Amino acid sequence: QSALTQPASVSGSPGQSITVSCTGTNSDIGIYKYVSWYQHHPDKAPKLLIYEVNNRPSGVSNRFSGSKSGNTASLTISGLQADDEADYYCSSYTSSHTVAFGTGTKVTVL
Amino acid sequence: EVQLVESGGGLVQPGGSLRLSCAASGFTFSRYSMNWVRQAPGKGLEWISYTSSSSTATYYADSVKGRLTISRDNAKDSLYLQMNSLRAEDTAVYYCAREGGDRAGYGMDVWGQGTTVTVSS
């Protein structure tokens, strides 16, 4: 079971938009709509931001949006804010009946 | 308030055993699938196990298969992780997480604060 591939870091200035990519294979992202995104601040519990590729749970800001094309999923954060500085992880259901997380991306607000 | 609270972590020697618990409150536990996820020091999140609402389906990551066992007691609103033959690489913060839908990978919408397991002699 391999982790999905994410960039180690992405940065942006307040108010800008950034995109975090998540690359999998045709055994996970490529064939399932079960792609999720999580925000993880240090020493806190991870928080679900996006489920089923592009759906937001109740209470999650509409500044967070998700998409998928082929084997790659993406998370876009618009109107970047200081509190968005955190680690972000994608995940996908796999054909082995497991869940694969991404390698994680540290988002820095300049 | 919807809440998950893990317990049972601690220091254990290599080859030893530990049982983690996760107490659920604020929702109908028996209706939800559950997961265990861990994060080793300085590393990313790693999914390790899933159980369906009625325990009819359980899945494991290859890294823990045969050593860790997930179980639940719906009468006690509790999830468990029996950890045997522990290795140094099992050192991590262990989270229990509720699956928001009716299948693995749907999206884990409620997480506990985590319990720390350290495997060391």
Chain segment A69-82, per-residue pLDDT in tens: 999 999 999 999 99
Mean pLDDT (whole number) for B75-90: 98
Between the alpha carbon of residue A47 and those of residues A89, B29, B38, B63, the distances in Å are 10, 19, 14, 24
**Pick from B92, B87, B102: which is nearest to B37 by CA?**
B92
Instruction: Rounding to the nearest 10 degrees, give the CA dihedral for residues A25, A29, A30, A34.
Output: 150
How open is the CA angle B104-B46-A8, to the nearest 5 degrees? Answer: 120
Q: Find chain B residues with C-beta within 8 A of A48's C-beta.
A: 100, 107-109
Distance separating alpha carbons of residues A92 and A85, to the nearest angstrom: 23
Contact B78, B20 (CB under 8 A): no
pLDDT of residue A44: 94
Q: Could you read off the pLDDT of B34-58 as tens digits, one per residue?
A: 999 999 999 999 999 999 999 999 9
Pair of tokens at residue B77:
């609103």
Q: Which residues, in sequence order, are CB contacts of A31 under 8 Å at separation 6+?
A: A95
Interface test with B, best of A2, A34, A48, A64 (most B CBs within 10 A): A48
All residues at 6 or more sequence positions from B42 whose CB lies less than 8 Å from its CB, including other chains: none
Share of chain A above pLDDT 90, in %: 95
Mean pLDDT of B73-82: 98
Indicate yes or no: CB of A57 within 8 angstroms of CB of B95.
no
Gap from B76 CA to chain A (nearest CA, Å)? 23
Statement: residue B101 has pLDDT above 90: no
